[in-house]
Amino acid sequence: MVKDELQTFLGELPMFKGLEEYLPRQKGKAFVLKDHQAEAIYNLENMRKNNETIALLYHATGKTITAVTDDKKLGKRTLFIAHTKELVNQVKDAFETAWSEASCLALK
C-alpha cells in the first residue's frame, strides 16, 4: 500500500518518473488485532515494566500474531518455543509474512 501511494504521488512529478527501482520493496500483511490480542499486548508491556518475562496465552487465541506484533513493536530478539515442527514452521512463516525485515531461525 505504501509503495502504491508513493508511486501515485511520485508518478505525478516528471522528475520522479522512472524511480521504480528506488521505491521500497516491502512485503507485508495488514491485519487488525482482536480485542483480546490488543489486551495481551497491553499486558505484556506492563509485565515488562515489572520485570516479568514469561507470559501464557490460552489455546487458539492468536498467540502468533500477538507475538509478531509485540516483537515488531519492541524490535528485539524473541524466543518462540513450540511443541511441533508444524507450529514452528507456521510461526516462522507468520513472522516472515508480517515482518519481512525480521530474520527468523527455526530449530527443529
Tell me the per-residue pLDDT of 60-88, one tens digit each, with 9 for 90 and over: 888 888 988 998 888 888 888 888 999 88
- Check: CB of residue 88 under 8 Å from CB of residue 108: yes
Residue 67, Cβ density class (10 Å: 0-12 exposed, 13-18 middle, ≥19 buried): buried
pLDDT band of 98, cuts 50, 70, 90? confident
- Check: CB of residue 102 under 8 Å from CB of residue 70: no
Average pLDDT of span 31-38: 89
Measured distance CA(12)–CA(97) in Å, rounded = 31
**pTM score, whole prediction:** 0.63
At position 82, the amino acid (one-letter code) is A
- Check: CB of residue 97 under 8 Å from CB of residue 29: yes
Residue boundaries of the structural domains of the chain: 1-28, 31-108
Q: Is the model's pLDDT at 56 over the cut of 70?
A: yes
Measured distance CA(81)–CA(57) in Å, rounded = 13
- Check: CB of residue 102 under 8 Å from CB of residue 71: yes
Percent of the chain with pLDDT over 90: 19
